[in-house]
Amino acid sequence: MATMTGSSAAAGAKSFDIVATYNELLRSDPDLTMPIAAIEALVLLLTKEPSSTISETLDLLEKSTAHLKKAIPNPIGLSAGTDLFQRYLITTLQRPGQLGPAGDFKAIRTHLLSNGRLFIRRAKESREKIATFGRGFIRDGCTVLTNGGSRAVASLLQKAADDEGGPSAVRFRVIYVLSSFKNADEPSGEPEGMETVRALRAKGVPVSTIPESAVAYALGKTDMVIVGAEGVVENGGIVSRMGTYQIGLLAKAIGKPFYVVAESHKFVRLYPLGQYDLPINQHVIDFKSDDDITEQKEESATPNTNGNQQIELPLCDSVDFTPPYLISALITDSGVLTPSAVSEELIKIWF
């Protein structure tokens, strides 16, 4: 990911490289989600680039956001953060009162700048909150199937296994679906989610790890499926780690409840009509003949440095779209929602 920071900075962010900041934030704190990192990066941008008027600030934000989105191969998660931040600024500025037009624009600026760490803390707290809501779903003696490396799911499962914070620890089992892709971020190359598996086993939760091909086989022994999400889209569907869609389809076919755990700041204004309608450049299906392979070998010798083209998402980070009809409920920090409630949450902030 470090290579893309070299791409030329857009006009909006002259000296301050928002892409590098965003990537650095994500790297420095493994608990940070993409939307929060994006918000943080924008707050830092406002610190570095002094702007005195509202429209100047909004213009700066818009340009940097566009630049950031272009530079990141999967902008769905971060666009949830940038959109939220932008809407928050606009709504707060429009709202009458101390911070409104009658008030001081500086007040809201100082609030944002001085509370940078607060947002991160709140985002982490919202994960705690989800865990409290979701605890009710995990009952004694049940078996949960999960996948991917979602921190919200991990914290939910760990909270359920913990003694503290509840009447007693739930005795449950976990079937963890491990991706067959090698994880580029891990030096050992172990698949995503192994950390959670170890943490759960340390808490005494029996965990079984299975490959993606065994999901249908394992679902018969499962009581419920709980997955995380990278973004929750307008119709209540989710964009999540590759393989989630097929787990959803299988769970539906076998009649097991399929729950999604996601913070409400991951709600994003996007309405994908299908798998191939996501604003991501990922080549999961790649048709090749022998000629193409030889051609590609030659091409890879000369690296492509075209700044305008969207960067391709590495295969291990590829995502798919799970449509809302497969989802039983979304466990968020604002309660347990049905998929159709997502659009309302979004409407609340946009209109």
Partner 1 sequence: MPSTSVALTPGLASFLKSLNTNPIDTSIENLISLLKRRQIRHSRSCATATAYLLLRVVSACRTSDPVKLIERVQSVGRRLIAAQPREMVVGNIVRRVLGLIREEAEGDHDAEFALSEAGSESQPQTPRGFDDSSLPLDRDVLRPDADRAASRPPLTSMFSLLSHPVEDDSQPSTPGTQSPRGLPGHGPAKDVRAEVLEGINEITDELDQVDDQISSYALEHIHSNEIILTHTSSTTVQKFLLKAASKRKFTVIHAESFPNNHDATHATVSGNSPADDENLSFEAFQKPLIALGITVILIPDSAVFALMSRVNKVILGTHSVLANGGLVAAAGTRVIARAAKVHQTPVVVVSGVYKLSPVYPFDFDSLIEYGDASKVLPFEDGDLVDQIDVQNPLYDYVPAELVDLYITNLGGHAPSYLYRIVSDHYRKEDISF
Q: In what order do the strands lie in the sheet with 143-147?
A: 207-211, 173-178, 143-147, 224-228, 258-261, 329-332, 335-337
Question: Can you read off the two tokens belonging to residue 347?
Answer: 């409407």
> Which CB, 91 or 294, lies closer to partner 1?
91
Report, in Å, the least distance between residue 256 CB and partner 1: 12
> Which CB, 96 or 303, lies closer to partner 1?
96
d(CA 61, CA 54): 11
> Which CB, 133 or 218, lies closer to partner 1?
133
Report, in Å, the least distance between residue 323 CB and partner 1: 14
Report, in Å, the least distance between residue 114 CB and partner 1: 8
Report, in Å, the least distance between residue 210 CB and partner 1: 26
**Number of helices and strands in the chain (H, E):** 12, 10
Report, in Å, the least distance between residue 103 CB and partner 1: 10
Report, in Å, the least distance between residue 11 CB and partner 1: 27
With residue 177 as reference, give the H or E element that holds it.
strand 173-178
Report, in Å, the least distance between residue 288 CB and partner 1: 42
> Which CB, 47 or 334, lies closer to partner 1?
334
Half-sphere exposure at residue 92, Cβ-oriented, CA atoms within 13 angstroms: 19
> Which CB, 36 or 177, lies closer to partner 1?
36
Residues forming the site for partner 1 (CB under 8 A): 39, 84-85, 87-88, 91-92, 94-98, 100-102, 107, 110-112, 115, 118-119, 122-123, 126, 129, 136-137, 139, 264-265, 267, 328-329, 333-341, 344-346, 348-349
d(CA 75, CA 100): 31
> Which CB, 5 or 88, lies closer to partner 1?
88
> Which CB, 22 or 181, lies closer to partner 1?
22
Whether the CB-CB separation of 169 and 200 falls below 8 Å is answered with no
How many angstroms separate the first and last alpha carbons of the chain? Answer: 36
d(CA 238, CA 232): 4
Q: What is the CA radius of gyration of the chain?
A: 21
Q: Report the greatest alpha carbon distance in the chain.
A: 68
